[in-house]
Structure 1
Amino acid sequence: MDSQLKRTPLFEAHRQAGARLMEFGSWEMPVHYGSQIEEHHAVRQRSGIFDVSHMLAVDVQGTQAREYLRQLLANDIDRVRHDGQAIYTCMLNAQGGVVDDLIVSRIENQPWRLVLNAGCADKDLAWMQSLAQDYDVQVIPRHDLAMVAIQGPQAKAALMQVRPAWQTVLEGLPRFTAAQIGDTQVSRTGYTGEDGYEVALPASEVQALWDDLIAAQVQPCGLGARDTLRLEAGLPLYGHEMTETVLPVNAGLQWTVCLRDAERDFTGRQAVETTPQSAQLMGLVLQARGVMRAEMLVKTEFGPGEVTSGTMSPTLGVSVAMARLPLECKAGDAVTVEIRGQAVPAVICALPFVRNGKAQMTIKS
């Protein structure tokens, strides 16, 4: 393993637990702790914990923070009307392509907080700082923080068990909101399709929280389960469903772009408004043996498409994928996917495949 890879404050905990480590976005991260499938099922049925400290929290403050964020982000932060509310959005380039997708939140008396993807963090930060030059704002990367995600139907109970002082906050925290508890931010968000929380706290405190949750029978989970969980939930991954050359409308993310204020000239707006949609993001379920993977060719009666992400679904027991397809395609259409030179039958479906642990379609045996 490259000795120059970055490591989170929990790296030694992963190593001592026997995790299989891999490179991800210049970080050395756990892919699984023995069984990716068991970790996946633990999150769907009980609870799991992920080290997401490779993601970067960035605080934005200053007298023009709101104006700056209204230019930086495709979604409009004026939609954040309640203390602790969070929104999902994209940063776009001038051509309308996605620089990154992220969550932004605001807690009273705290700066705005953006959480950036690990593989994009350096370029995102440079992009944010370049746009900040025209505003009275400070863009502050929070390298002093660590982050963990506790996900699954029993996530709340586990977190309240190990941190009983947080109970009142956790009980009253709606989905997609955040609260500040001392130096810790707790957000009811996640990337698995299950209920759960993402906790950002001082790096010096993360080991104790991790150890306490493991002792409470919360399953440690790696990047492998994180990917199969998010794919079943129909959640996009940067570099797959979206890139700097893919517009939100072609990545199923048009709902993250807010055009209602005609005076708000956010970066990429002109391209978004003038470039017609050329594809749509939909789901595929394979109808024969095999596993769909990114970049595989999809043949439809309306022309070619491409798999953006694919896997074997542990919950459904079949291969599922997200794919960019012609606009004429619809759920129920039969297509083929080219796998090792063979045209393998598949059917188009709406996303997600799984919601709150339940299949969203009937799988034929």
Structure 2
Amino acid sequence: MNCPNFVRRGLLPAILAAASMTSVVEARQLSYATGYAPGSIGADAAEAFASDVKDHSGGDLTAKVYAQSLLSFSEIPPGIRDGMADSGLVLTPYFPSEFPSTNLATELTMLIEMTDAPTEKAGLAFAGAMAEYVFFNCPSCVKEYKQQNQLFLGGGGTSSYFLICNKPVSTLEDIKGKRLRIGGAQWARWANAVGATPVSVPQHETYEALSQGVVDCTVHSAPELTIVKLMEVTSDMTPNMPGGVFSGVANNINADVWNSLAASERKTMLHASATQASALSWGYAQAAAMNMATARDLKEIEIHEPDAALVEATREFIEQDLKAIATKYADTYGLESSAEMVETFRALLTKWVGLVSDVGSHEELTQLYWDEVYSKVDVDSYGQ
């Protein structure tokens, strides 16, 4: 029997509304945890990740960022493992026993000083090399993530680390006996090698430590000049010494969540992670350039170049430290192929220094990461 017109007129909008509600219900939202504060480079990179998830999936999949709220950096790995967050940013050096294969590579950051990479491209190259290393050249990396019920989806790299001081430190003689705030094992070993004393100070206490003379210098990247307000308490800086970047960054997803996603959704997550890696690395590079330009304009801060003896001592240390790193991870964590892993990563880093040399924007960097690494991950077999 035919329905009256007024029924049809009322029924059609209702059907359309119901269909719309069904579409909304079917859209899936994933949680993303980061220890970065809202408005920081890291939190902005997380938002870029979330935006790309939505755009790449056409809105069928979304991600909600919890910046410095749902989980702290120290809580994120177990939080992802136990399903408190679907995904998030893991700082692997905080967890040496859980992620030794990954951390071996993160301790090789000073290798960038043995290449022709310009300072502003160091983090970009390292992020690309780390992703290719974990995805395709380090099965033990993938295995150790799986043991924590999560999978690596990408990484990132900061700008170069250098000496930010309250007195001139640019020669091998200057640095002897100086107390240096250090944020990583490789820089601590370097400090000892050049006659300085490494000191462990939390980042949020660095301002006070430098201003009160508890430390003579801090080894930090240029964005911290404003992030931690070090610009206010430093009088001397020595760029390109000791060098290296912080790259112990893993953009991870809960393994059960990954397995519940369709192939197209897994590709979406990988594409978004390439965007996150680019946004983080490019963001640090741009912030470093702006902060250094500001510092050079300030009469209160003097910029120094490291002398030849300090440069040579640092290069000698880097070469010797490669063997020390391989031995450390073999003896401490049982990585029998640690020496080969070092050489594999060294070749990848050299390759990526060349790949990022002509990159001129965040968008170009995202495309490079996607084309060279992330798009090549087999979403059907990865993590199985």
TM tier relative to shorter chain = under 0.3
TM-score of the pair, normalised by structure 1 = 0.24
Larger radius of gyration: 2
Q: Per residue, is there more strand in 1 or in 2?
A: 1
TM-score of the pair, normalised by structure 2 = 0.23
Q: Per residue, is there more helix in 1 or in 2?
A: 2
Structure with higher RCO (Cα < 8 A, 6+ apart): 2
